[in-house]
Amino acid sequence: MKRKKSPTIPFDMPQGVEGLIRPEPLPVEETFNEYVKQFGGQLISELLQTDPQRPQNADYYFPSHGAIAELKCFEKDLFNNREDVERIGHIIQKNHESGLVDGYKGFRWLLGQEPLPSEYRRDMLSLARRYYENAIRKADKQIESTKKLLDLPNARGLVLLANDGNYFSHPAEAASLIAQVMQNHFMESHIDGFVYFTVNTVVKVSDNNGELMYWVPSYRETGDGLADFVNHLGAGWGDFFAEKIGQEAPRFQTEDIRVTSLMRNFKYSNSK
């Protein structure tokens, strides 16, 4: 599938909305585990006996929907391995030597607080894409292992990708990158869909005064009922999260941000 170049969308780190108190960050895995059980899902760790020799398994099983899901969290240290740090340092150092950037500005690049020059952003996006690919590849193996352990060869596989405080990419851009990774590397895998969502990270965009929580799904194929399940899961999560923080959490809708043209990029379906 040929992709159109995604438009650049500004990503502002919000400072809070007048009249509201920014809630304390929630522990993502613990909170989502609680929600899954309330939703009617099961924690696979509670279904299987502890065995240090067993391959790593996925996190959740939803028996009523025939789905196995794995949760991955993207935290503040998106580029946290030695090779990535060295490459980022090289980019910043090259700009520093040319007088284009100081260390403070380079740090703001990493946090997404200042736009990265286009000639260097490509390198950073390449690192981000590789980070997503590694996380998804591990999730694919965990879903495959869990299908075998539970003897559920026909279960649908879902990867839940939670942004837990990383501000490098706007969620629209991140979801588009992940869809590219899925289409390029995981069309023949145990993953039937993914959801990119924000937890302790809120997004403020132009033309909207609110701070938005994102829940952006995409599927390998359509028409198998997975989308209905994921939409139900997302709606329930939004209500659960709002109850946890004690205030309403406005959610992403296509009219909230100018990404209608991007939504087609989120589809990595190979169906005709």
> Is there a domain that residue 46 lies in?
yes
Model pLDDT for residues 114-136, shown as the tens digit of each residue = 666 666 667 777 778 888 999 99
Per-residue pLDDT at 167 exceeds 90: no
Q: How many domains does the chain have?
A: 1
> Is there a domain that residue 146 lies in?
yes
> Is there a domain that residue 202 lies in?
yes
Of 154 and 131, the structure prediction assigns the larger pLDDT to 154
> Quick one: three-class SS letters along the chain?
CCCCCCCCCCCECCCCCCCCCCCCCCCHHHHHHHHHHHHCCEEHHHHCCCCCCCCCCCCEEECCCCEEEEEEEECCCCCCCHHHHHHHHHHHHHHHHCCCCCHHHHHHHHHCCCCCCHHHHHHHHHHHHHHHHHHHHHHHHHHHHHHHHCCCCCCEEEEEEEECCCCCCCHHHHHHHHHHHHHHHCCCCCCCEEEEEECCCCEECCCCCCCEECEEEEECCCCCCHHHHHHHHHHHHHHHHHHHHCCCCCECCHHHCCCHHHHHHHCCCCCC
Per-residue pLDDT at 190 exceeds 60: yes
> Is there a domain that residue 41 lies in?
yes
Model pLDDT for residues 213-267, shown as the tens digit of each residue = 888 888 887 667 898 999 999 999 999 998 998 877 777 644 333 333 343 344 4
Domain that holds residue 73: 28-80+123-266
> Is there a domain that residue 88 lies in?
no
> Is there a domain that residue 101 lies in?
no
Q: Quote the pLDDT of residue 3.
A: 37
Q: Quote the pLDDT of residue 15.
A: 46
> Is there a domain that residue 209 lies in?
yes
> Is there a domain that residue 86 lies in?
no
